Amino acid sequence: MMSIKYKSIGLILLMAVSVMACSQQAEKAEDITKEASFTSDYKTITVTKDIPYREGESDAWKLDLAMPANFGSELRPALVIVHGGGWRFGSKSVDVYQKMMVAYAQKGYVTINVEYRLTGEAEFPACIEDVKCAVRWLRAHADELNVDPNRIGSYGHSAGAHLSMMLAMVSDTANLEGDGGWDEYSSMVNVAGAGSPPTELGRDMPMAKKEWWPIGYIAAGHPPMFLIQGTEDKIVLPERTRDFVEKMKAAGATNLEYLEMEGDHGIAYNGQLDVTDPALEKFFDKYLKP
C-alpha cells in the first residue's frame, strides 16, 4: 500500500478546523459557509484541507475532507464531490463545492472534495484515473474515518458530472485505474449524481474515445444514478442526455433517475438549487442512509 505525508487520518484531524452548524458562527469556517445556514443533528464538523491522496509531484493530487466531529463509532455514508470546469479549469476550492462539502458533512456524511489533473497538466484520461484513485484512498482509510465502504456516493457538475458517472460505471478492468496506488481497494462508487452530465463528447478528436465516456458503458447492472439536465443547455445538449437515458433503459437499467427541467447549463450549479438540492439529497439519502 502506498503511504501519504501523514501517518494516519487521526493525525490529520488534529489539525482540522472546527465548523459550527449555527448560522451566527458560520463565518468561522474560512468563508466556506458564507451566507449559508444549516440545520443538523451534528453540531460540529471538522474540515481538513489539502490532504494528499497519492504520492507524486502534482499539486492536483489533494482533497479536502469534512466530517461530523461527534459521530462516535457509527459507520457513516460518504460523498465524493468532483468539481467541474471543462476538464481544463476549475478547482475544489470553488465556493459551490466547498458549501456542498460542508452541508453534507453536517447531514452526517463524510465528504471529500477532490482535485484532479486538468488537461493543461495531463491529457485524458488522467482526470478519470485521479478521481478513481481518490475513491480508493477513501476506502483505504474507511476504518479511520468511520466510513461504510459500501455506502459511497459521488456528485459532480458538468465535467465533474462526467467523472462522477465514470466512478459509478467503470470497473477496475477497464484500464483506467492509473498508477496512484491503493490498488487493493475498489474505485467504484455505490451511487452517483450528475448535474448537466456530458455522457459523450460527440466530436472526432482524441478525447472522444468511447471508453472515456459513459456512453461507452451502456448496461443494466450499474449502480443507481441521478441525472439532472436543463432544457436550454447549450453546452451539454439535452438531446444527448436523453439519448443516453433511453439507451440505458433499453439495456434494462431500472435504477437510473432523470430530472429534466427548464434552464441552462447551471441549473444544478447555481441556477435552480431550490429544486435540485432537495432532489439530490433525497436521492443520496434513499441509497446511502438505510
pLDDT in tens, 111-167: 999 999 999 999 999 999 999 999 999 999 999 999 999 999 999 999 999 999 999
27-45 tens-digit pLDDT? 333 333 333 334 455 568 9
**DSSP-derived 3-state class of residue 120:** coil
User: 202: alpha, beta or left, given left = phi > 0 and alpha = psi -120 to 50?
Assistant: left
Taking the C-alpha atoms of residue 53 and residue 56, their distance in angstroms, rounded to an integer, is: 10
- CA nearest neighbour of 37 among 22, 27, 18: 22
**Surface-to-core class of residue 239, CB atoms within 10 Å of its CB (0-12 exposed, 13-18 middle, 19+ buried):** exposed
Q: What are the pLDDT digits (tens) for 229-258?
A: 999 999 999 999 999 999 999 999 999 999
Give the residue with greater pLDDT, 37 vs 214: 214
Q: Which three cell numbers stand for residue 18?
A: 472546527
More confident position, 79 or 68: 79
Mean pLDDT across the stretch 187-213? 92
| 168 pLDDT higher than 90 | yes
Buried b / exposed e across 88-112, counting CB within 10 Å, b at 16+? eebebebebbbbbbbbbbbbbbbbb
Domain spans of the chain, in order of start: 9-288
Of residues 77 and 4, more confidence is placed in 77
> Does the pLDDT of residue 266 top 60, yes or no?
yes
pLDDT by residue (tens digit) across 2-20?
A: 333 333 444 344 334 443 3
Burial of 285 (0-12, 13-18, 19+ CB in 10 A): middle
pLDDT in tens, 98-115: 999 999 999 999 999 999
| Between residues 5 and 172, the one the model is more confident about | 172
Q: What is the mean pLDDT of residues 265-289?
A: 94
Asked if the 9-288 domain carries CATH number 3.30.160.20, the reply is no
Give the model's pLDDT for residue 205: 80
Query: Which pLDDT band, with edges at 50, 70 and 90, does 24 fall under?
Result: very low
Percent of the chain with pLDDT over 90: 77
Average pLDDT for residues 85-109, to the nearest whole number?
A: 95
Q: What is the longest distance spanned by two Cα atoms in the chain?
A: 52
DSSP 222: P
